Amino acid sequence: MQRIIIDTDAGVDDALAILYLLASPGVRIEAITTVFGNVDLSTATANIAEILTVAGASVPMIARGADGPLAGQRVDAAEVHGDDGLGGWTRRGRVSGPALDPLPAPVVITRLARHYPDQIDLLLIGPATNAAIARLLDPEGFALLRRIVIMGGAVFGPGNVTPAAEFNVFCDPWATRHVLDSGIPVVMVPLDATRKAVLTRKALEGALASRSDVRAAFLRTICGHVFRADRGALGEDGLFLHDPLAAALLVDTGLATATRNVGVAVETTPSEGWGRTTAVSSGAPATVVLESDLARFLPQLLDRVCQ
């Protein structure tokens, strides 16, 4: 059994990643922790209830985390994900959520790592702030994580929020630096890989066929919003599968077909380069994914997300 913690800012591609992991065999989600990013912390936390309700699933723990970065101003991506982070899904009204853990997300991360030493994989699909705080508060507990997979960075190409930076890292570059410097094995899934993983409207509709159930409605709503947002970059109705690809690489390492083990430097000086991630010869190495087996990943994603 693979034990994981999902740390998320609960936008559209986060929802797809969570649905994928809930349907992945041999995976136990020990906790979902929330962080600011695509939307504010309260909205991100409320969105977990929406996703779990659509999936008809539960997880042992849900915990709120950081509502802003270690340094700098908070930004969001509501223009991409919608004001509710789910493409307007909650205009129909929100569901009531499960009880939140009384402990904050960083404490939940380290306590689970201590309870299951060298067994917990941490998936970061939002800003890395919760993980950084966890390391600062309890470095010995944090060191008991088995592995960290980060969706973030643009190591050999341009960013998506500025020419230099990818959104998750841009939100809190200091936090990303803390995680990369932790000494725990890190797999970075940057834009270099995720920009090549695209879900088109045609593929989604082909998988849903004529379904009209709640899950189908949810997927059409959340994806439809981002199809429109990403159309300019793609030239068609589609969305980049940033977080789902990172989730898939967490549970199926064979999907990575090209990687590089390099040091990754993060620009934390306020400048036009804020949040830039660069391959360097020094520093703790990360496994940077550059290519993945999309012919296997895309059908697998649709099968698990649309089930």
Please report, for the domain that includes residue 254, its CATH number.
3.90.245.10
Q: Is the pTM value of this prediction over 0.95? A: yes
The string of DSSP letters for 41-85 reads HHHHHHHHHHHHHHHT---S-EEE--SS-SSS-----HHHH-TTS
Active site residue 242: yes
**Rounded to an integer, what distance in angstroms lies between the CA atom of residue 111 and that of residue 60?**
14
**Three-class SS of residue 184?**
coil
Would you place residue 49 in the very low, low, confident or very high pLDDT band (cuts 50, 70, 90)?
very high
Would you place residue 55 in the very low, low, confident or very high pLDDT band (cuts 50, 70, 90)?
very high
The rounded mean pLDDT for the chain is 95
Q: How many structural domains comprise the chain?
A: 1
Spot the catalytic one: 81, 178, 225, 242. Answer: 242
* pLDDT score of 227: 86
Q: Are 147 and 185 in contact (CB under 8 A)?
A: yes
Q: What is the pLDDT of residues 222-251, one digit of tens each?
A: 999 888 777 767 778 889 999 999 999 999
Q: What is the pLDDT of residues 209-228, one digit of tens each?
A: 989 999 999 999 999 988 87
Q: Are 70 and 175 in contact (CB under 8 A)?
A: yes
**Rounded to an integer, what distance in angstroms lies between the CA atom of residue 226 and that of residue 47?**
16
Q: What is the pLDDT of residues 29-48, one digit of tens each?
A: 999 999 999 999 999 999 99
**Rounded to an integer, what distance in angstroms lies between the CA atom of residue 289 and that of residue 225?**
28
Q: Are 18 and 131 in contact (CB under 8 A)?
A: no
Element (H, E) at 108: helix 105-115
Instruction: Give, in order, the Cα–Cα distances in Å from 238 to each of 78, 86, 132.
Output: 18, 16, 33
Cβ-count burial 2-40 (b if 16+ within 10 Å, e if not): bbbbbbbbbbbbbbbbbbbbbbbeebebbbbbbbbbbbb
Residue-range definition of the domain harbouring residue 30: 2-305
Would you place residue 97 in the very low, low, confident or very high pLDDT band (cuts 50, 70, 90)?
confident
* pLDDT score of 236: 80
Q: Are 201 and 228 in contact (CB under 8 A)?
A: no
**Rounded to an integer, what distance in angstroms lies between the CA atom of residue 190 and that of residue 243?**
10
Dihedral over alpha carbons 18, 254, 132, 12 (to 10 degrees): -30
* pLDDT score of 39: 97
